[in-house]
Structure 1
Amino acid sequence: MLLYTTVPMEQIFPSETNNIQYQEIDLGNGKKVIVEKINDSQCKIVRLISTDAYDYLNPQYQPGSVINLYPF
């Protein structure tokens, strides 16, 4: 493979492994989200898994949204 770029090789092929742990949460009604834990009570949505196309238009489920694990 030959790659012509000005980007350093360390950025293209990082040697470090990510220590980010992802978790899958079932929201019911065929909706699942993959989240990244921020702290003990909040997670950031990384990916939505749903069979309903309208769920992808809902800003509540968009990647980057923060959800509370324990709503009080």
Structure 2
Amino acid sequence: MIHYTPLSEYDIYPQQAEQFTNKHLLSIQGRSVYAERQQDGSYQVLQLLSTNPQDYMDETFSPGSIIG
């Protein structure tokens, strides 16, 4: 079986369930973002899910960015 997805294999088949509990799909400024919740309550962007190439030029949504 072939599974086509923009996610990595570790996101689909996590090693442990605890690794997946802090990761959320958020809608920020109308864009879908896959982010990890930090201990201080902010979110760190892991991946931007968009079909608009201009969204990837916005540094707000670059991987590693912190969203308060």
- How many aligned positions are there? 52
The 3-state SS of whatever aligns with 2:43 is strand
Higher helix share: 2
Superposed counterparts of 1:33-72, under 5 Å: 33-68=33-68
TM-score (norm. length: structure 2):
0.63
Pair 64,18 (structure 1): closer, same or farther in 2 beyond 3 Å: farther
- Distance across 2 between alignment mates of 1:27 and 1:43: 11
The 3-state SS of whatever aligns with 1:44 is strand
TM-score (norm. length: structure 1):
0.60
Higher Cα radius of gyration: 1
- Distance across 2 between alignment mates of 1:42 and 1:24: 14
The 3-state SS of whatever aligns with 1:51 is coil
Which consecutive residues of structure 2, in runs of 5 or more, have no partner in the other structure? Answer: 1-14
Q: CA deviation at 1:27?
A: 2.1
Q: CA deviation at 1:50?
A: 1.1
Q: CA deviation at 1:45?
A: 0.2
Q: Percent identity?
A: 23
Structure 1 residue ranges (4+ consecutive) displaced by more than 4 angstroms after TM superposition: none
